Amino acid sequence: MSISYRWVIVGAGALMTCVALGAMFSLAIFQEPIAEETGWSHAGIATAMTLNFIVMGIGGFVWGAASDRFGPRAVVLTGSALLGLALVVASRAETLLAFQLSYGILVGVAASTFFAPMMAATMGWFKENRGLAVSLVSAGMGVAPMTISPFARWLISASDWRTAMLIIGIGAWVLLIPAALLVRRPAEETEEPEANAFTEDGRRPSLMSVFRSPQFLVLGFTFFACCAAHSGPIFHMVNYASICGIAPMAAVSIYSVEGLAGLGGRILYGTLADRLGVKPVLVAGLTVQAAALATYLLVSELSQFYALAIIFGGAYGGVMPLYAVLAREYFGPKIVGTVLGAATMLSSIGMAFGPLIGGWIFDTYANYSWLFIGSALVGLGAAAIALAFPPLPREREAVAQPG
């Protein structure tokens, strides 16, 4: 198969992450209409997202390991079918518990099939410009707020939240299943042996030794803290802007600006990582994210929200693909799906805290000040943990070679 097919993999991966993550995060748009129509609490609705992240984390590990063994196409095809079904079922839920279980569990399982398998598959197709390639796949997440979220808002305005969610579920089937059929295993010519501490003898390494290694512990806990920092502010941003006096559609547009900035951030940070190294770019991005979170306490006008959305969206969007590159460089191609799935599981646990805590803070204090203060502190913690990353294999080789 032609090496040019790798860009088809990138395109398919970007589309899948856009639709899957866009459908999942559109709950932020559905939150207020659901609460008004059903009388369910904000914390109760946000619990569906918390369940979503928890299940997505566990599923990410399982599906990542499955993609290593069976290939990515079977995994993403299963997720494509399941995601549409999950949204259709959630749109018919008549009780809060039914909604939490259908949206939280089914959507979570479906969404977990895309990130780790497609990141692993994409990295297998690229030897050079790997940071840029995975950033473009991850860019689908950045496009989602500019596409799925405004579309959801328009559908809700034109009909109601149930009809809107049903239509998005059917649309997921239409778009994702054909894209999943395009996915192929990495081209053999790009699967050259790579130096790392876990596959020196060419055999599949022990997962217990991998998961107890400093490389994985720093990777996993940095990913956890990073996502714990930004998940609550992302989920509650539309409601926070509305409280500050921003009109509903304008508030949704802030969410879209964050997504657009995230798209640019992924390309920028991915390109910088290819040139400057992954670790320094990751630490810088995490620091910018923390500073932006604290600054949200000072904004109140739409122009200020837009300006900060560009900085915040670029930072959190830019750093997300870098964890996949680090997983590949530390652990090699044989188990990258499993390792990235395990790291994603930790990140999803971190993501699960934000929406629930943010909903509780709002229900208790009728504002989000403590959410942004706490998130900024956790973000600084993520940057501090990232400083402890051990040297990459290529860096150790460079030091070992005589000048």
180-189, 233-242, 251-260: least confident range: 180-189
* 8 A C-beta contact, residue 136 and residue 10: yes
DSSP, residue by residue, 250-303: HHHHHHHHHHHHHHHHHHHHHHHHHHH-HHHHHHHHHHHHHHHHHHGGG--SHH
Residue 201 resides in a domain: no
Residue 394 resides in a domain: no
Query: Is 4 exposed, middle or buried, given 0-12, 13-18 or 19+ CB atoms closer than 10 A?
Result: exposed
Residue 33 resides in a domain: yes
* Predicted local confidence at residue 189, as pLDDT: 43
Residue 271 resides in a domain: yes
* 8 A C-beta contact, residue 235 and residue 354: yes
Number of compact structural domains in the chain: 1
* Predicted local confidence at residue 198, as pLDDT: 61
Residue 73 resides in a domain: yes
Element (DSSP H or E) covering residue 301: none
Residue 181 has pLDDT above 60, yes or no: yes
The residue type at 98: A
DSSP, residue by residue, 3-40: GGGHHHHHHHHHHHHHHHHHHHHTHHHHHHHHHHHH--
pLDDT tens for residues 33-75? 999 999 888 888 888 887 887 888 788 888 888 888 888 999 9
Nearest to 351 by CA among 69, 97, 52: 52
Residue 400 has pLDDT above 70, yes or no: no
Residue 195 resides in a domain: no
Residue 172 has pLDDT above 50, yes or no: yes
Residue of 244 and 382 predicted with greater confidence: 382
Q: CA-to-CA distance for 265 and 320, rounded, in angstroms?
A: 10
Nearest to 351 by CA among 328, 389, 382: 382
Within 8 A by CB and 6+ apart from 261, the residues are 142, 309, 310, 311, 312, 313, 314, 317
The CATH number of residue 220's host domain is 1.20.1250.20
Structural domain boundaries enclosing 79: 3-184+213-388
Q: CA-to-CA distance for 44 and 50, rounded, in angstroms?
A: 10
Residue 147, token pair as written in the block: 């596409």
Residue of 392 and 21 predicted with greater confidence: 21
Residue 192 resides in a domain: no
The residue type at 132: L
Residue 134 resides in a domain: yes
User: Which of left, alpha, beta for 366 (phi over 0: left; psi -120 to 50: alpha)?
Assistant: left
Q: CA-to-CA distance for 237 and 252, rounded, in angstroms?
A: 9
Residue 401, token pair as written in the block: 């070679």
Return the sign of the alpha-carbon dihedral for residues 318, 322, 26, 178: positive
pLDDT tens for residues 86-99? 999 999 999 999 99
Element (DSSP H or E) covering residue 344: helix 336-365
Element (DSSP H or E) covering residue 185: none
